[in-house]
Structure 1
Amino acid sequence: MSRQSVIQILLIAAVLASAWRLLVGTGQRTMAVRRLGLLLLLGLVVYSIIDPSNTWTNLARALGVGRGADLILYGLAVAFFGFVVTTFKRFRAMETRYTRLARRIALDEATPPSRRVRAAQDRSGRGIPTGTPDTLTGDVPPSPSVKAADAD
């Protein structure tokens, strides 16, 4: 196995791990792995600051990459892909929460059908049978929270 294929296998494995993360739910284990990865990266950065001349070049040569700058570029590409996947999952979860919240608020503020019928009967002075289109299109004033939301 050549040295070039070692880095290719490692990079492909890292990309596949990020893609797999897209499909797997989040949990305590995922958070722990993420924190350990960040601590490892922090340690590598500190070490490379202490010994900047050979750290990345030696590591790149050991992995079969020509220069340390190329290795850093590959690492940043994989890290960026991981960031994109994580951000996508976070926004997807937030979007789901907002949708559920909007539905809950709409249900909480909806006027019950029986109150709409009574309001329509009171305005017209005559009884309107339940289930006619008039009961659904009556002029019912919006609740205060709807007015406040429209003012924004």
Structure 2
Amino acid sequence: MLDQPLIKVILLAAIVVLTAMLTRSTAGARHQAVRRLFLIGFVVLAAVAVLFPPFLTQVAQAVGVGRGADLLLYGLTVTFLGYVAASYRRLRQMEQQVTTLARELAVREAVHRDQHGR
């Protein structure tokens, strides 16, 4: 751990800050629990990758990837695609909610206008 100590401190600090930012959410309890479990796993894996880079290379070679950096890139690519898919799903749900609310509001306004003779 004594080689390149500055970058390791910077990367570990970034991981801690990102972890703190990601744990702040108002989602439901079950969703929040799953999210925190994944987050704990991410933190552990990120810390191991920062503190012990040769271990990441060993894992990469064990799964058939030449270098640890390549394995990390593959993992980040898969994670990014998962994030995009989850974001798209949430966006579609929000669009449906907005559409439902807009329809309900339009019906209420129409009823209100009919009742008050406008």
TM-score tier after normalising by the smaller chain length: 0.5 to 0.7
Partner of 1:33: 34
Offset from partner CA, 1:34-55 (integer Å, 9 cap, x none): 3212211111111222223x12
Aligned length: 89
Partner of 1:77: 77
**Matches of 2:95 and 2:76, distance apart in 1:** 28
Partner of 1:46: 47
Percent identical across equivalent pairs? Answer: 45
Partner of 2:59: 59
* Structure 2 spans left out of the alignment, 5+ residues: 1-27
Give 3-state SS (helix, strand or coil) of 1:90's partner: helix
**Matches of 1:41 and 1:66, distance apart in 2:** 22
Offset from partner CA, 1:56-106 (integer Å, 9 cap, x none): 201101211111111011101110110011001110110011011111111
Structure with the higher helix share, 1 or 2: 2
Scaled by the length of structure 2, the TM-score of the pair is 0.65
Q: 1:115 to 1:30 in 2, by over 3 A?
A: closer
Give 3-state SS (helix, strand or coil) of 1:64's partner: coil
Scaled by the length of structure 1, the TM-score of the pair is 0.51
- The alignment's C-alpha RMSD in Å is 2.0
Structure of higher RCO (CA pairs closer than 8 Å, 6+ residues apart):
1
